[in-house]
Amino acid sequence: MIIYAIILGLVEGITEFLPISSTGHLILTSELLKIASSEFWKSFEIAIQLGAILSVVVLYWKKIFASRTLYLKVLIAFIPTAIIGLALYKIVKSFLLGNVLVVLIALLVGGILMIIFENWYAKKKNTNEDDLENISYKQAGLIGLFQALAVIPGVSRAAATVIGGLLLGLNRKTIIEFSFLLAVPTMVAATGLDLMKSSLAFSQDEWIALSIGFIVSFLVALLAIKFLLKFIKNHTFKGFGWYRIILATVWLIVLFI
């Protein structure tokens, strides 16, 4: 169980902030490792995402607590996700989490749409020099609606929010940083809700595994955030789109063969 916790923590830390779906990768990794689907492992996959999100608090705590307006905009963006996530919680937990086919379809379709979007976006003249403070309350709310699409495993919260922000006229760095901040209340709420619903009915070994996965995802996510901020200076998300397509195609071939 400890080895599985470390591997899943590594996967979560690497993928949480990349537009390739951390939840989807956790589900595929669990399938690859032959981890039997259970209420604990479903909760584990949700809870270790909070470890990755903690890295945002460490890296951005000054921005989070220094600006009341930014804080309010993040909360406004969180509201649509909270409403939709709460309404669909039972469906997501019972039928979507752990469903490999749903993940693969979402990865494939999302990858195709990502490439199409980046080709279209490259033709626009993008000279915006926005910063986090200039995001409007309306834009924040709409970004929250885009993020809500990620209740479907494989969609990618990062991809949904970033593409939504770019469509709303924000520049890439601004929307990625806002996506980082928006992840904080989103994953705190998701983890809290799930742990409350599960009544914290985990064994001692399960709590140890959960703690290890949490710590590993936190440490790895610190590096992943720094990598992504450097990467976007000279690259688009097309490479991630191709990665999603190749990964989903290979898995679908293996799955049906």
- Separation of alpha carbons 140 and 144, rounded Å: 6
Nearest to 244 by CA among 28, 50, 35: 28
pLDDT along the chain (257 residues), means of 10: 91 91 88 81 79 86 76 91 81 72 92 94 68 87 91 88 91 89 83 67 82 93 91 89 96 87
Query: How many residues can be counted in the chain?
Result: 257
Query: CA distances (Å), 242 to each of 34, 47, 114, in order?
Result: 26, 29, 9
Give the pLDDT score at 128. 59
- Separation of alpha carbons 122 and 135, rounded Å: 22
User: Token pair for residue 88?
Assistant: 């669909």
Give the pLDDT score at 110. 94
How much is the pTM?
A: 0.84
What is the residue whose two structure tokens read 């949490």? 214
Nearest to 53 by CA among 228, 232, 214, 230: 214
Give the pLDDT score at 9. 93
Give the pLDDT score at 122. 84
What is the residue whose two structure tokens read 């709590």? 207
Asked if 130 and 257 count as a contact pair (C-beta separation under 8 A), the reply is no
Give the pLDDT score at 125. 61
Give the pLDDT score at 92. 73
